[in-house]
Amino acid sequence: MGTDSVATLAWAPIEPDAAASAQSYLESLGFVRIETPEGVYLAQKGDDGWADAEGYGVTYLFTDTDVRWAAYKDEVGYVKAPDEAG
């Protein structure tokens, strides 16, 4: 029996127009917009067992230059751009 734990994370550069379009689309799907100093989170409320401590599941973080994705909002902090330390 496997006991592996896997975190799925993603990063990509994004142009401002594409970011605005993607954000609008995600909001139309019901994602919650959360404005923060590090950028704009668009997070989906998760079901029990499929959410972090705040109740969020699938989450995107849009910064000025890129978009980051994780299965849970509290995991987005693990996503780093190639030029970031960590």
State the pTM of this model: 0.89
Token pair in block for residue 52: 């972090």
pLDDT at 3: 64
Burial class (CB in 10 A: 0-12, 13-18, 19+), 45: middle
Give CA–CA dist 17/43, Å, rounded: 20
pLDDT at 7: 75
Above 80 in pLDDT, residue 6?
no
pLDDT at 69: 98
Give CA–CA dist 63/3, Å, rounded: 34
Question: What digits encode the pLDDT tens for the residues 35-82?
Answer: 999 999 999 998 878 899 999 999 999 999 999 999 999 999 999 999
